[in-house]
Amino acid sequence: MKKSTSTVLMLAITAGAANAGFTSFVIRNGGSGAPDILSNTDYGVPATEFVIDEGGMKAALGSNDLNGQTIGDIASLQITRHDDVSRFTAGSGAAVAPYFNLWVTDGAGNYAVIANEPSNPAFQSLFTTNGDGSRSYDLSFGDLSDKVAKVYETPGWNSGTSWVHAMFGATLTFADIATLEIAPPPASYITDPGNSVGSGAPDELGTNNAFGFNWVFGDTLSNYVSGDEGYVVSGAVVPSPGSAALLGMGGLLVTRRRRN
């Protein structure tokens, strides 16, 4: 069910609490342990920090506020990053993270993950610098429409023969798949080996609970691991269509505290 404008307004106002509108969860452990998800107020606001310090670790912020809408309905996906990105190679995944994952469906029992590529130069211009040195994404469908959309976590995705490719073509932009509905699969779909859902898919480790929209932290050591400094991010709730103006009224903040 789509959220009403009043519901989105309430979520935006209450977003001073860490993670309002989102749930933080572990996707995958590393070789020696799990990512840490901690509270942090180092930046003067309630926050959650993701400790991603080795290859394989992966965690996310998930929201179901876009469920039932289409990719073309996206009004604004907003998040701000505060930690020092200059410690990473300019333009690398680690320097321009987080990236996002969308679970989508054709309504006939098929699901897939659609992801952006933050290391794609065409996407990096959308990561803007603020007056305080932080960097932000504020992504509408218009921003995404001509950008490459990658397909994962469905049979044939790795060979480009998934149901998404069969419907829309081999090389895809977000405009090509604008009509796909945002919806997470049930845990039974994720655990069925015939559906080719890997351990890096955006679902909660252990429960296999999934969210329609996800900001993702971590992945491979060369691309997204943040090291000892961690990711420091803030962002608003995802809005219903036409409610993007409410985003300035509150925010979700996620930060990472340096380990002792």
Alpha helices in 57-183 (DSSP H): 93-96, 121-124, 141-144, 163-168
Give CA separation, 29 vs 51, 126, 131, in Å: 11, 30, 36
Q: What pLDDT digit, counting tens, does each position of 48-57 carry?
A: 788 888 889 9
Structure tokens at 18: 């860490």
| Amino acid symbol at 4 | S
Statement: residue 2 has pLDDT above 50? no
Q: What pLDDT digit, counting tens, does each position of 69-122 carry?
A: 999 999 989 888 888 888 888 888 888 888 999 999 999 999 999 999 877 888
Task: Give the pLDDT confidence score for residue 248 in this predicted structure.
Answer: 40
% of the chain beyond a pLDDT of 90: 49
196-210 as b/e: b if 16+ CB within 10 A: bbeebbbbbbeebeb
pTM: 0.84
Task: Give the pLDDT confidence score for residue 230 in this predicted structure.
Answer: 79
CA angle 157, 158, 162 (to 5 degrees): 25
Q: What pLDDT digit, counting tens, does each position of 166-182 carry?
A: 999 999 999 999 999 99
Task: Give the pLDDT confidence score for residue 9 in this predicted structure.
Answer: 24
Separation between Cα atoms, residue 84 and residue 87, nearest integer Å: 6
Mean pLDDT, the chain, whole residue set? 82
